[in-house]
Chains A and B, each alone.
Chain A
C-alpha cells in the first residue's frame, strides 16, 4: 500500500464510522441513515473512484478503489458503493462519462445475457442485480451480433422486480424490454462478459474478506467478555481453536483477495494470470465465508442469532456476496478447464509465475 491509498481509505473509513455505524443502522428500521450516508459518499467522490478525471470521476487508481472495497466489507456497508464504482469502471472502459447518482451493473450472473438489437434497444433479463431499486442508472454489458457494447441505461426505463438478498440489501430482477439506452459504445478489443465478471468477482472477494475481518474481531471481543462456567469463554480450548480456525479462514480470504486485486491493478489484459487470481480469490473467499460465518455464529451463541445483534450484518452479507459475479462452482469449472487445457506440466509454472 502506498501513502495515497491510505488517504482514500481513511476518508472512506471515516464516513463509514460516522454515518454507517452497524449498531445504529441495525436499530433504525426507517432507513433514515441512507440519504446522509450516500450524500457524504457522493461528496467524497468515492462512488466514482474508478472514473477518470476527464470523465468527471475522481481518477483514483484501481488499487485505491480495491482498498476502499475491502474497507466497505469491514463495515458491512449497506449502500451501492461497490456497484457504483464497478458501473463507473465499466462505462469508462467504453469511454462513457458517468452521470451523478447511484448506479448498479448488469449482468452479475454468468448465465444472464443482454443483447443489443439492430434498432439500438436492449433486450434481456438480469437476475440478482444488487441495489437496482435504489439506483438511478444501470451500466450494462450487452452483446450484439459480433460485438460487445457497454450501455448506460436509466433505471426508470427498465422493469425492476424488487427482491432482497441474503444480506438484507436489494437484489432485484431487471428486465430490459426493448429499452433504449441513454448512450452506448463498443467495448475495447478483448473486453467481454468474462472480464466484467472477473472484475466483479475480485470486488466481492475484497468485501467478503473485509466482512470476515470484522467477524473475527467481534467474535474475539465477545469471547473475551462472555462468562460461562465462571470463566470467559475465551479460556475454553474448544472456543480458542474455533477462533484460530476463523483467523485462518480470514487470512486465506484476505491473502487471496488482496493478491487478486494487486494482479488486476497491474494487469494489461484479462489473461490466464488474472483468471487464476480472480477465480481463486472468489472460490476461496466463498469457502471462507461459509466456514467463517458458521464459527462466528457458534461463538456468539443465541445472541448472535437475534435481529438486534449486529453479527448478521456481516455474516449474511459475506454469504450473500458469494453469489454475485459467478459463485464458486462457476469459477471452479472455469479455472479447472483452463488448467486442464494448459496441461499438467504447466500447472506449477502457472501457480509459481509470480
Chain B
C-alpha cells in the first residue's frame, strides 16, 4: 500500500487575519520610512539589524516557542502568516530568519537549560543572527562525508577544518554546525557526527566571503583552526547528529519561503500587462496564478499538520520539491509573457530588471536546503520504494 497523501483544505482562523493586517501595516510603515524597498530584492540584508529588533519587539520572532524563553506560544499558522507577508513584501529578513525558523527549534530541543535561557530570548528580541554549518567542500548532499573535526580537549572540543556555502556566516553571532567526533562505523555510515553551538566570535574562526552569480554576497567559507567550543555547547547526542540534522531540515522545507522567492516578477507582470490583457497574456497570468494558489494551499495544509502535532515529512518534501521548481520556472515564464507587454507600460524597466535578477537567482532555488534529487529520494522512501 502506498502511504496515503493528505492535504486537508486548512483555512486560516480569524486570529491569523487580524495578525495579517498588523503585519501589513507594520511593513507599510517600514517601507514608508525607507527601511527597505519592496521592488529591490537585489539588495543585501546585512544592514538591517534595527529592522530585526523591531520585528522582535512586535512579538513575531519565536512565535511558537514557550514564554519562559521569550517565545509567544502562538500557533504555526500565525507564524506562517508573518512569514508569507514578510516574503511577499521583500522585507530584509535574512538576519533573523534562520534563527527563528531553524536554529531556535534545535536549541529548544537539544541545548542545556542555561544556554536556552541565555540565547532564546535574544533570538526573540531580534538581536541574534545564526548560520547553519552542514555543507563542506566535499559533502553537500552527502552529509555524512563531513570531515571537519571536533577533538576532545580539557573542558570542550577543538575544531579544525572548513564549512562552505554558509549563508550569513559573515554577520552571524552563532553557528549550529555538525562536526566529526568519530569515524563512521561499518554498520552505520551515519555514525560519528555531533552537533555543536559555535560562538562565531571565538578565536580560530575565519570567514571568507564567496560571491554569487547575482552579484550579491550571502554565503561564505568558514575556516576553523583550533577553535574552542566548550562542553556545554554540545547539542544532543555525541556521534548521533545525523537524526537531529535531518529532523532540523523538516523545518526548512514547506514554508511559504519555498515558493515565493521570485514571486515579485509575477506581480510586476500583472502590472505591466494592465487591466485588459490580450488572450495570451490573460492565459499566462491565469496559469501562473493557478500554480501559485495550489502551492500555497499545499503549504498552508502542511502548516496545519505541523500545528496538529503531525510529522508530515513526505508532504513537506513534496512542497519543497514542486515549490522550488515553480519559483525557479517563474522568471522564465514571465520573460516569455513579457513579449505581450505594451512598450509604454509604466513599469517596463522595473519588470525587466526584476526578471533579470530573478533569472540569475533561480538556479540556487532547487539546490539550497536539499537538492531536488535528494528530496525525491526522501519522497520515494516515504512511498515505500526504498
Contacts from A to B (Cβ < 8 Å)? 1, 213, 216-217, 220-221, 223-224, 234-235, 237, 239-241, 243-245, 247-248, 250-252, 254-256, 258-259, 261-263, 276-277, 279-281, 283-284, 328-329, 331-337, 339-341, 343-345, 347-348, 351-352, 354
Contact between chains at A284 and B283 (CB < 8 Å): no
Q: Is the CB of B281 within 8 A of A255?
A: no
Known contacts A245-B376, A332-B290, A339-B286; 14 additional CB pairs below 8 A are A213-B4, A216-B383, A224-B385, A240-B376, A240-B377, A240-B380, A240-B385, A244-B379, A276-B293, A280-B290, A331-B286, A340-B275, A340-B281, A347-B270
CB-CB < 8 A to B277: which residues of A? 336-337, 340
> B373 to chain A: which residues have CB within 8 Å?
241
Please list 5 pairs of residues, one from A and one from B, whose beta carbons are closer than 8 Å in the complex, sorted by A's number. A261-B9, A262-B11, A280-B289, A347-B270, A351-B289
Which residues of A have CB within 8 Å of B217? none
B216-272 interface (Cβ within 8 A of A): 263, 266-268, 270-271
- Are B385 and A223 touching (Cβ within 8 A)? yes
Supposing A333-B279, A333-B283 touch, asked if A224 and B384 sit within 8 A by C-beta, the answer is yes
In the assembled complex, the CB of A185 is this many whole angstroms from the nearest CB of chain B, namely 33
B342 CB, min distance to chain A CBs, angstroms:
13
Pick the most buried of A223, A247, A259: most chain B CB atoms within 10 A of its CB.
A247
Cα A72 to Cα B27 with chains together (Å): 46
- B298 to A258, Cβ gap below 8 A? no
Closest Cβ of chain B: how far from A303's Cβ, in Å? 19
For chain B, give the interface size range: 35 or more
How many residue pairs between the two chains, A and B, have CB atoms under 8 Å in the bound complex? 177
- With most chain A CB atoms within 10 A of its CB, the pick from B5, B267, B277, B279 is B5
Q: CB-nearest residue of chain B relative to A262?
A: B9
For A235, list chain B residues within 8 Å (CB). Answer: 385-386
Nearest Cβ distance between residue B290 and chain A, in whole angstroms?
A: 4
Please give, as numbers and ranges, the residues of chain A lying within 8 Å of B281 by CB-CB distance.
336, 340
Are A347 and B286 in contact, with the CB atoms below 8 A? no
Chain B residues, CB < 8 A from A244 = 318, 321, 375-377, 379-380, 383
A237 and B377 within 8 A (CB):
yes
Chain A residues contacting B187 (CB-CB under 8 Å) are: none
Bound complex: CA of A133 vs CA of B84, how far in Å? Answer: 50
Interface of chain A, main secondary structure:
helix
CB-CB under 8 A for A339 and B289, given A223-B385, A240-B377, A241-B380: yes
Q: How far is the CA of A248 from the CA of B326 in the complex (A)?
A: 12
Within 8 Å CB of A276, what residues of B?
289, 293
- Interchain CA distance A42-B190 in the complex, whole Å: 58
Query: Are A335's CB and B285's CB within 8 A?
Result: yes
A6 CB, nearest partner CB in chain B, Å: 14
Q: How far, in angstroms, from A18 to B328 measured CA to CA in the complex? A: 46
CB distance from A27 to the nearest CB of B (A): 24
B287-A332 in contact (CB<8A): yes
Q: Which residues of B contact A334 (CB under 8 A)?
A: 282, 286
- Shortest Cβ distance from A219 into B: residue: B2
Alpha-carbon separation in the docked complex, A241 to B314 (Å): 13
Give the chain B neighbours of A333 by CB distance below 8 A: 279, 282-283, 286
Q: Which of B11, B84, B275, B286 contacts A332 (CB 8 A)?
A: B286
Residue of A nearest to B20 (CB): A352
